[in-house]
Amino acid sequence: MCQVRTQDALPQQASPLYNKIPPEIRNTIFQLALTAYDDPTRKYRPAAHYYRPGFTCAHKIDTNLLLTCHRVYAETARLPASMNEHTSWYFRPPPGISKNEIPLGNSPGALVRQRDLRTIHVFAQQYWLEGAHGGFAGFVRLWNIARPTHLKITIRHSDWWWWEFGEPIALDAKCQGRPSSHHSSRPSDPFEQGSWGARFRDIEGLDVLQLELETLEYKKTELDAIIDRARGWQFPLGDSRVLLLNESKTKRMGWIGVPIDQNFGFRDDINDFVTNIPEETEMDDNGTVSNENSMPLAQGSLAAHADPASVDHIIVDEISTNWPDAVLGASSHAIEWGDPSEMPVNHRATQGTAPKVLTTPRQRLEAAGVVFDDSASDTCKSTNETCTYYVVTLSWEAH
């Protein structure tokens, strides 16, 4: 980066920016001109891992302002780095972006650029965060070279351990390595050596830590259990301060997307069989479809995989006890019961009444006070295959 001092530049008194507009208004204009914005010419695929609210297309910063004159350059050269959030992907980044685009490193060029960084947003797979070598551990070793003040870590639905197979999700900042969904640390437990939470002891200058966790709606109970445990996490920093949770800044969000492309990862967010059920399909109590062109329903597959909001119409003669309530309560469409006496008790209705319309995943989240962000949902209007995501963001502040 070229170094230009304001006192070495021409005063530009012939320009209205400098002879009429007050400095505070001029600085606001510069900040607005150098703020990142969505580039509609570089839209992301809705079925990609990286597609979500705020990331429906590439971000762009126009820096032509810096080319106008030496004085403008001297006053604005550091703004693109210091004002905007800088994103690092571990792994599966959008096209045209390397795995890690944050200039953390020891090269002269990196040292010049990174000193202006303030906010870093990391999209991290869980194994990267919890790994003993490299990963977050390596990221932390380079942190104090730049010393940004704000770190946000996002774990998306497809970043959890074995998300492809619908395994229960678990996260524990105090445990070394992969945590268990059956055992978790207590508030009084210390951070184990090598745990990702303990690595904050090597970080200095951090003022805010945000942890954004995302999963499918049917795993809401699992994520809420993680959130409850995280309320007791207090991260000690290397500068003798401690990161304490600010409960008032906890945010819960929902959004609706499409299933992740099979060519870019497995799909547990919607079951292939469910999406292929034709209208007016009949099934027996074993989950066998009478349509000869259909395939049998795998035992438990709906419990682990389905968000059946895309099922148009199902006629059921009998309901097996293997059908979970999570599925029976997930469809946004009508389910007609062939024999009301065979219905599960909680879904039984008087014979001859209208089919029962079950609540949708969105309605269940909204009933729990979750606010939906529909900025990424427009692309879902043309397809029946949709997934409802549940996102919680926690914020810790240094004291």
Please report, in tens digits, the pLDDT of each residue of the chain (399 residues total): 556 666 666 777 788 888 889 999 999 999 999 999 999 999 999 999 999 999 999 999 999 999 888 888 888 988 998 999 989 898 888 988 766 555 554 444 454 456 788 999 999 999 999 987 778 988 888 887 778 999 999 999 999 999 988 899 999 999 998 888 777 888 889 999 999 999 999 999 999 999 999 999 999 999 999 999 999 999 999 999 999 999 999 999 999 998 887 544 333 333 332 333 333 334 444 444 344 333 333 333 333 334 444 333 333 333 333 333 333 333 333 333 334 444 444 444 444 455 545 589 999 999 999 999 999 987 666 667 889 999 999 999 999
CB-CB contact of 83 with 32 (8 Å)? no
What is the Cα 273 distance to its own chain's centre? Answer: 27
What is the Cα 88 distance to its own chain's centre? Answer: 13
Kind plus residue range of the DSSP H or E element containing 73: helix 70-76
Say how many C-beta atoms besides its own lie within 10 A of residue 62's C-beta: 12
DSSP 8-state code for residue 60: E
Say how many C-beta atoms besides its own lie within 10 A of residue 335's C-beta: 19
Say how many C-beta atoms besides its own lie within 10 A of residue 69's C-beta: 16
Sign of the torsion angle spanned by Cα atoms 113, 115, 117, 123: positive
How far from 217 is each of 10, 50, 221, 373, CA to CA, in Å? Answer: 59, 18, 9, 14
Say how many C-beta atoms besides its own lie within 10 A of residue 327's C-beta: 21
Q: What are 54-82's pLDDT values in tens digits? A: 999 999 999 999 988 888 888 898 899 89
Q: Which of 192, 194, 172 is nearest to 182 (CA)?
A: 172
Kind plus residue range of the DSSP H or E element containing 58: strand 57-60
For residue 328, give both structure tokens: 């029976």
- Locate tokens 């099979």: which residue? 262
Q: What is the DSSP string of 344-379?
A: -GGG---TTSPPEEPPPHHHHHHHTTPEE--TT-GG
The order of strands in the sheet holding 334-337 is 281-283, 314-316, 334-337, 356-357
